[in-house]
A and B are shown apart, each in its own frame.
Chain A
Amino acid sequence: MRRRTPDQLIVSKGFTLDYKSHFQTRIPKHGALRLLPRFLIVVTALALCGVPEVWADASIGSDSSWFVDMNRYAASAHGALACEKCHDNIMEDGPNHPKTDNASLLDEATRNFDYGRCAACHASAVQRTREGAHAKALAEELAPPAEGAEASEKKKAPTCGECHSAHYAPSGRSRLETGKEMTETCGRCHPAHRASYLADFHGRAAVKLGNTRSAYCSDCHGAHNTVSLKENDKALAACLRCHPDADEGFSRVVIHASLDTIEQKEQEKKESLILVHRVRVVAFAVVALVLVFFFGHSFLWIMRELHEKLRNR
């Protein structure tokens, strides 16, 4: 069978272990009595119009600035590292400290930094990134344009710094926090995919309702080796990680089911998405008509009876 060959599951390498440790977040089924305090807390919270912290969305931002907030830096994963550990080549007296002429000031920080340095500590992550689609896109972007070719309007490819905040990213975050943040991080460049993921069952359950057994972006697409799941066998490999009974047909369920990204889809999915969209329009029209008719009907009925009642009083 082509289903579970090891190389197709490489996406999940190093991931399965983390995943399992988070299986325990669910409350036991027969813990109804334990849920009573929750009920009371929610009622109190609603009465006070406050929102408990659990519902607040994780704050996001890999803010790049010339100024480093040392409070946040010290609390971050890299907080123990001195500046020189990563920036030794751009010390002020060094030759590479950015100059203040107009041209160098407009350079992108994430294009100037040599992210090969990250490999000193994050060897496998850098290695896996180099194998992935993001690195391919970056290589295309940085390659000198072919003779006569027009500059293409492609999206900017990401370096490490586009996704990770080297100064502020905290370490040891929970699966839920990581998942929420990655939804926003990936969504900065893939907003339509973020939206369709959040509209899908996976996104609702995982991000909005905090069910960590549901899938976040990297659970299907891999983290650093960013796999496109357009090909069905790759998609199936991703499905199988959580849906052991899945087969060929199951991988054809459209997850990012929005018309915004329909141009990127395969012909078959395009057609089915258009069909689903048409059904949605018809369903909306039918529901609207039925509701207008019957609510109007009852409104008229009630007004008429009120009138009769007032008159006979």
Chain B
Amino acid sequence: MQNKQPQVETVQRFSVLHRFLHLVVMIGFTVLAVTGLSLAFSSQFWARAIMWILGGQENAGDVHRFFAVVTYSAVVAHLVWFLYYKLVLKGRWTGPRSLLPSMRDFKDMSEHFRFFFARRSRPPKFNKFSYLEKFDYWAFFLGMNTMGLTGLFLWFPEAFSRVLPGFFVNLAQVLHLYEAVMAIALKLVLHTITVHFRPSVYPGDTSIFTGNTTMEKMKHEHAGEWEARVAEDINTTPGK
């Protein structure tokens, strides 16, 4: 019976750990955004409604801090995994499958813009992670650290003002807000749009939840990686 189903060649794109971390960050970030924006826009009635549901501003603050810890532990877990990958598995962190930015990404971006303006007929051949995916990753990674740092200032102002001038708390308020607005606009809004509502992926890309992607999809979205895989297949299975 099973043989009658058309064979779709699936490839693993994300490990279970990465899927799990994405899920944690996704939920944590959303809760952080909702509780944080309710404080930032507290004169809006929807913000008061959310605060009221959560049982007051202090409860909302506790929820915010709890999920801040949860979200940041995802960052820590990711770092621990990276050390394990590097030291125990002796993995590579450069090369075409790496998340490290390279000159190639800038070239890809300019080529992509040429594609937008109809100067070339197909998008450039992205490797495993395109320049935008790398940007998403690094923006989040760095953003979580700055948000975490400024957030700590605001969590323990008494302790930090012992070592730093008092106005660092004011500074942290400003930066925490602006960075939050940027992160929400880039992640909650733009990341969702480009991953789910772009015509060529609509109605959504599930690979971050299932971990798998198809060769067909990869050929379209990450043609560089697809070519590398096809080449590997030919090299490793010569009889085929």
Contact = CB atoms under 8 A, between A and B. Distances in A.
Contact flag (A, B; Cβ within 8 A): yes
Interface of A: 25-27, 29, 31, 34-35, 38-39, 42, 45-46, 51-52, 54-55, 198, 201, 204-205, 208-211, 213-214, 243, 245-247, 249-254, 257, 269, 272-273, 275-276, 279-280, 283-284, 286-287, 290-291, 294-295, 297-298, 300-306, 308-309
Contact of A27 (B55, B158, B163): B55
A295 B115 CA distance: 17
B121 to A, nearest CB: 9
B182 A253 contact: no
A58 to B, nearest CB: 14
Contacts of A302: 193-194, 197-199
24 contacts: A26-B58, A35-B55, A55-B48, A204-B42, A205-B42, A208-B42, A208-B48, A209-B56, A247-B162, A249-B163, A250-B166, A252-B161, A272-B167, A279-B175, A283-B174, A283-B179, A287-B178, A294-B186, A298-B194, A300-B116, A301-B194, A302-B194, A304-B116, A308-B200
A36 to B, nearest CB: 9
B175 to A, nearest CB: 6
B52 A249 contact: no
Interface in B174-225: 174-175, 178-179, 181-182, 185-186, 190, 193-194, 197-200
Contact of A290 (B159, B166, B182): B182
B133 interface: no
Contact of B56 (A27, A245, A300, A309): A27
B167 A295 contact: no
Q: Is the interface of B mostly helix, strand, loop or mixed?
A: helix
Nearest to B43: A208
A211 B58 contact: yes
Given A250-B166, A280-B178, 17 more contacts: A34-B55, A42-B52, A42-B53, A55-B49, A201-B154, A201-B173, A208-B43, A209-B47, A209-B48, A246-B161, A250-B161, A250-B162, A286-B178, A290-B182, A291-B186, A294-B186, A297-B113
B170 A253 contact: yes
B55 A31 contact: yes
B158 A245 contact: yes
Q: Tell me which of B46, B157, B175, B179 has the highest count of chain A C-beta atoms within 10 A of its own C-beta.
A: B157
A251 B194 contact: no
Looking at A26, A35, A208, the one whose CB has the most chain B CB atoms below 10 A away is A208
Contact of A38 (B53, B132, B135, B181): B53
Contact of A251 (B45, B166, B181, B198): B166
B56 A283 contact: no
Contacts of B59: 26-27, 29
A294 B136 CA distance: 11
